Structure 1
Amino acid sequence: MHVSRICSDLVRIKSENPPGRTDGVIEYIQDFLAGIGVRSLVCGNGQGLENLVAQPAGTHMMLCGHVDVVPALADGWAKPPFSGTIEDGYVWGRGSTDMKGGCAAILSACKTLADNNEEIPATLVFVCDEETGGENGIRYLLSRNRILPCDCIIAEPTPVRHPSIGQKGLCRVSLEFAGVPAHGSLYPAVGVSAIMEAMSFLAYIKTLHDKDYPVDIHLQEIIAQSSGVLEQEFGITGISNVLKKLTFNPGVIRGGEKSNVVAQHCELDLEMRIPWGCSIADLLAGISAHAGTAAVTTDESFTPSVEDPRSPLVTITCAEVERVYGGTVFPIVQWAASDARHLRKCGFHVIEYGPGEISSLHAVNERTSIDSLEKAVMVYSGVMRRYARR
């Protein structure tokens, strides 16, 4: 079966997250693997949030993908979002790039080796909820020792000649501001607005984007190279600031009781992407100091991470990418988060490399080119063959 057909089949099995039900996709993958002689284990919460782990004998590495996708409304799509249409050199639909295309390429690469009676030297992992933080997915597997530290490629979409070896950190905090209610007509002479307290706090957060965080010369070079690649990929100027600076998003704010009452209560959910060189402990101390009387809760935090560009995982993958694509190949870092943060925290060596049209990720008319799928199969097959010889 051609990789484009596998991708199309996966797209047509809905697995939007939320709600995150993935049992249909996992059943397809388990049947596919069984068809090439690979046994697998399905595990999850028993209510549709299912993961799959396959560990052929003598595995030396891991290939990983998530099968959940972000929701899609039908409005504006040239092809229905769950049609899996194969047309004009693309597979169309939600998840074709993020990241059922990568999952399809993993499966097709394994079939390539199996058809040639070659060893599949990789643990295969397909998880259910990367899009909502991994509690029922990769973190579930890690907490139960279903997978153990090794070299890992996550099949997230990347620029074709540039595996991703690192991601910025992530910090999510919730704040509750308390005010003193009064008649709205008397504010600001009377009362304290919890909403305005939150606004004052956000003014401080905005200043953090202007700070510089020193890193060593080697990481500086990687960030500079990455900025050039990502600027070209997305057509965005000034991308270097996204990689070097702290970026923030006050994603949710809830507050106030009525338009003529000075707000007594305001809640703020804030997400920050943390650059290399920034201490999360110092960042949180500064937030507490500038939050006034607000209660501050840290919901989640992960330090920025990067894989050694000289490691076998990176050099082998780059060599295979160069074999398949030619041209100049080098690793980059990026600003987004993925399951890599959970794996690295547990001792895995992790990079991301996969097919897809990055500009369509999470967007209307998401699609992946058949050419990128075919070449990803070649890269994964080549990497596995090299690991089989190690």
Structure 2
Amino acid sequence: MTSAENEVVDLCRDLIRIDTSNYGNDPGPGERKAAEYVAAQLDEVGISSEIYESEPGRASVVAQWGGGSTSGRQDGLLLHGHLDVVPAAAQDWQVDPFSGEIQDGYVWGRGAVDMKDFNAMLLAVVRDRQRTGRIPERPITLAFTADEEAGGMKGANVLVEEHPDLLAHCTEAVGEVGGFSTTVKGRRLYLIEAAEKGMAWMKLTARGTAGHGSMINRDNPITRLSGALARIGAHEWPVQLTPTMQTLLAAVGEIAGEEPTPENAERLVEEFGPAARMIGATLRNVTNPTMTGAGYKVNVIPTEATAHVDGRFLPGYEDDFFETLSKLCGEGIDIEFDQNQMPWETPYDGALVSAMESSLIAEDPDALVAPYLMSAGTDAKHFKRLGMRTYGFAPLRLPEELDFTALFHGVDERVPVDALEFGARVMDRFLDQV
């Protein structure tokens, strides 16, 4: 067992024990303590780093590693992970969500899969390679960011907007939510993220005429907004296959013995079992009303009603999404954007893809590897703006019975100990080839 395999579990547990809950607009503990921990782990093996705060406590860490004057390579690779996690209600968990407890062969805790596991893999592998002198010829930028769970505006976005010089040499980037295994008809299939849906967090506002609740009022903003929300929530968005999903479904169709088409795409996705929850959302645009607010007394019709909608749209179908949304809202509804981040899709080819595939196959020879489209968003959206080819590759070999996608932001989040060790081995092989 390598040094990286030996320490990846302890690094993951240490990171989980640092509460970095991100409450969105409400103050939280921030990422500063975790950033200082990461910086200390890098400094211990002779890798210098800098901590960048967007505001007090909201901290990201960046380190430059590898390359050098003798390599001659200028095409940097960004390896990035985020330090923040979503909140956890301790009373709902079997264990303290910030204990990093090991139980039943798993490391338990908030961030175990999203994404302190990958941070631990990166730290473990980089530390081991630095100690043993196995430093990549390619320049590597390591970034551990703040605020990803609220859209990354105080983390990755700050690096892109205010410190682009740190990333200017990077032509490719690798981050979270890819490289994990799922099982299709008994065959292990590793999914590499090669695309993400766009994210539109919208505030809808309807305005009308105030009045007494006992009287007829045909200009009631709550009625108008409710109709819009009902149409948005019930709308059946059509199946639309991007190049990434066509490639993935072709791989599944080969296993299932069925040629993929838009008509049978949903049936093929069902072959993923519980993972279909996430992958199925990448076949079409999605709009979900999530919050409403209006009024202050039961017998008073208010002048204004508001609601929030979470919209996720496919790369290449942006115009169709917003045109349809406008029609669903109808007249008298104003749309403001809390977040409006564009989707992205990177061609699934080239040397970096080959390195990811071969490093997985070397550790799991009977497996298949294919790209997929991520239904949610990651910091890759920000780094993509600098022209990088971006992928998600946090390798984990998972047991077939584990409902892995339910653990993202879920109760009793946990990651298998042997999956962490597997990930460290794969990442080590990957860095040999980049």
TM above 0.5:
yes
Q: Does 1:104 align with 2:117?
A: no
Q: Following TM superposition, by how much is the alpha carbon of 1:268 offset from its aligned partner in structure 2, in angstroms?
A: 1.5
Q: Secondary structure at the match of 1:150?
A: strand
Per-residue CA distance 1:124-172 (angstroms, 9 max, x = gap): 1100110011111111111121322321110336523221111112222
Q: What one-letter code is carried by the residue in structure 1 that aligns with 2:19?
A: K
What's the offset of the Cα at 1:205?
2.1
**Separation in structure 2 between the aligned mates of residue 237 and residue 66 of structure 1, nearest angstrom:** 25
| C-alpha deviation, 1:237, in angstroms | 5.8
Amino acid paired to 1:131: E
Whichever residue aligns with residue 36 of structure 1, its letter is V
Which residue of 119, 124, 127 corresponds with 2:145? Answer: 127
Farther-moved stretch of structure 1 (7-16 vs 322-331): 322-331
Alpha-carbon distance, 1:347 to partner: 0.8
Whether 1:312 and 2:339 are equivalent positions in the alignment is: no
Code of the residue aligned with 1:51 in structure 2: it is S
User: Which of 335, 338, 341 is 1:302 aligned to?
Assistant: 341
Tell me, in whole angstroms, the C-alpha distance in 1 between the residues paired with 2:279 and 2:391: 21
Report which stretch shifted further, 206-215 or 74-83: 206-215
Equivalent residues in 2 for 1:363-382 (5 A)? 363-382=410-429
Of residues 45, 58, 68, the one that matches 2:67 is 58
SS at match of 2:410: coil
**Aligned pair partner of 1:346 in 359, 381, 386:** 386
Match status 1:266 vs 2:311: no
2:158 aligned residue (125, 135, 140):
140
Conservation of the 8 A alpha-carbon contact between 2:213 and 2:299: yes
Matched, 1:8 2:13: yes
Q: Name the counterpart of 1:69.
A: 85
- Residue 84 to residue 228, structure 1, CA distance change in 2 (3 Å): farther
Alpha-carbon contact 1:181-1:264 (below 8 Å) kept: yes
**Pair 1:222 & 2:256 matched:** no
Partners of 1:383 and 1:37 in 2: how far apart?
A: 22
When structure 1 is superposed on structure 2, of 142-151 and 367-376 the one drifting more is: 142-151
The answer to whether residue 106 in structure 2 is matched with residue 90 in structure 1 is yes
Instruction: Report whether the alignment pairs 1:279 with 2:322.
Output: no
Q: Residue 232 of structure 1: CA displacement?
A: 5.3
Point out where structure 1 has 5 or more consecutive residues left out of the alignment. none
Cα distance per residue 1:261-285 (max 9 Å; x no partner): 23321011111110244234x4334
Q: Distance in 2 between matches of 1:90 and 1:214?
A: 36
Which one-letter code corresponds to 2:8 in the other structure? Answer: V
Distance in 2 of aligned mates of 1:83 and 1:155: 23
SS of the aligned residue for 1:3 comes to: helix
Q: Does residue 1:170 correspond to 2:199, yes or no?
A: yes
State the SS of the aligned residue for 1:70.
Answer: coil
Give the letter aligned to residue 106 of structure 1.
L
Q: Is the 8 A contact 2:100 2:107 kept in 1?
A: yes
* CA RMSD, 1 decimal: 2.5
Partner residue in 1 for 2:180: 159
Check whether the contact 1:154–1:352 (CA below 8 A) recurs between aligned residues: yes
Residue aligned with 1:75, SS: helix
Output one character per residue of 1:311-340: Cα deviation in whole Å (capped at 9) or x when no partner: 222221111111112211222222111111
| Structure 1 residue identity aligned to 2:203 | S
1:249 aligns with 288
SS in 1 for 2:14: helix
Aligned residue-pair number: 383
Change (3 A) 1:165 1:49: same
Shift of 1:225: 5.0
Taking structure 1 as reference, are residues 191 and 239 closer, same or farther at Cα in structure 2, changes over 3 Å only?
A: same
| Deviations, residues 241-261 of structure 1 (Å, cap 9, x unaligned) | 522222111111111232222
Residues 129 and 322 (structure 1), Cα distance of their counterparts in 2 relative to 1, 3 Å cut: same
Where 1:309 maps in the other structure, the secondary structure is coil
- TM-score, normalised to structure 1, is 0.90
1:195 to 2:215 alignment: no
Matched with 1:360 is 407
Among the aligned pairs, what percent are the same residue? 26
Cα pair 1:102 1:157 within 8 Å, conserved:
no
Is residue 337 from structure 1 mapped to residue 414 from structure 2 by the alignment?
no
SS in structure 1 of the partner of residue 369 of structure 2: coil
Higher normalized strand content (fraction of residues) = 2
Q: 1-side partners of 2:42 and 2:363: how far apart? A: 25
Q: Relative to structure 2, which stretch is displaced further, 220-229 or 149-158?
A: 220-229
Answer whether contact 2:85 2:114 (CA < 8 A) is retained: yes
Encode CA deviations 1:208-245: one digit per residue, 9 max, x unaligned.
Answer: 433354656x7534356577896455526687652222
Distance 1:333 1:95 in 2: 22
Measured in 2, the distance between the counterparts of 1:67 and 1:61 equals 19
- The CA deviation at 1:72 is 1.1
CA distance in 2, matches of 1:192, 1:33: 62
Letter in 2 for 1:174: K
Tell me the distance in 1 between the aligned counterparts of 2:41 and 2:269: 35
Distance 1:233 1:373, change over 3 A: farther
* Cα deviations by residue, 1:22-66 (Å, 9 ceiling, x for unpaired): 111111111111111211111113511111111024173121100
> In terms of mean alpha carbon deviation, does 132-141 or 298-307 score higher?
298-307
